[in-house]
A and B are shown apart, each in its own frame.
Chain A
Amino acid sequence: ETGVTQTPRHLVMGMTNKKSLKCEQHLGHNAMYWYKQSAKKPLELMFVYSLEERVENNSVPSRFSPECPNSSHLFLHLHTLQPEDSALYLCASSQVVVGGRGAVGTQYFGPGTRLTVL
């Protein structure tokens, strides 16, 4: 059991639905991440929150909207998704050195949410 939990574990949604993915970390970290893992492709970093501020957004379509209300929780709000958005969405957390070059420690991953868009 890792210190990062994600809910739901599986989600099936239509293209017109609105849903949210939730991530919670119990490790006392100050940075959280959303990744997308599609079949046959490397993990792609989507968003990074450091000290509750979004510090990175890798040209992700606006139909994905992240929210980080505090250092322990991270959400990914989904709306009007496309079938090609079907993937495993992974959340991770790490400890960031304040004033340094960003996260230097290990990232701890949650189990992921398997998303299917019909």
Chain B
Amino acid sequence: KQEVTQIPAALSVPEGENLVLNCSFTDSAIYNLQWFRQDPGKGLTSLLLIQSSQREQTSGRLNASLDKSSGRSTLYIAASQPGDSATYLCAVRGGATNKLIFGTGTLLAVQP
């Protein structure tokens, strides 16, 4: 059964810092991995989608990497801003089932 873990559960950093969020998954036979952002009381916004054949994806100040063999992904946020404060969720698709399996998220607070 696929399980997705995100570390840390919460993170507080001063504005301007570069930071890394971690995601690990137990079944490496994934189809793709996706990072989402969720603001309080809101739905999810897709940030980056990495197919299983890819190693990384970049969008602006965000860079996501994927190491399928070790079951790990990282989300790198450069020059963090208070507007980056949100919960970041990692989800994988594939393995024994073909549905999105989510982690519990990392709550990020960027202090001005």
Contact = CB atoms under 8 A, between A and B. Distances in A.
B104 A41 contact: yes
B43 A104 contact: no
Interface in B71-112: 89, 91, 93-94, 98-105
Contacts of A66: none
Contacts of A40: 104
Given A42-B103, A43-B89, A101 B43 contact: no
B20 interface: no
Contact of A106 (B46, B98, B104): B46
Contacts of B4: 42
Contact of B98 (A4, A90, A102): A102
A59 interface: no
Most chain A CB within a 10 A radius of its CB, from B43, B89, B94: B43
Interface stretch (A14-22, A76-84, A109-117): A109-117
Contacts of B93: 103-104
A75 B4 CA distance: 28
Interface string A1-30: 010101000000000000000000000000
A81 B20 CA distance: 40
A42 B99 contact: no
A110 B98 contact: no
Nearest to A43: B102
Contacts of B43: 2, 4, 6, 90, 109-112
Interface of B: 4, 31-32, 34, 36, 41-46, 49, 89, 91, 93-94, 98-105
Q: 10 tightest CB-CB pairs across the interface, nearest first?
A: A109-B43, A109-B44, A102-B98, A43-B102, A42-B102, A111-B43, A106-B46, A112-B43, A42-B104, A110-B43
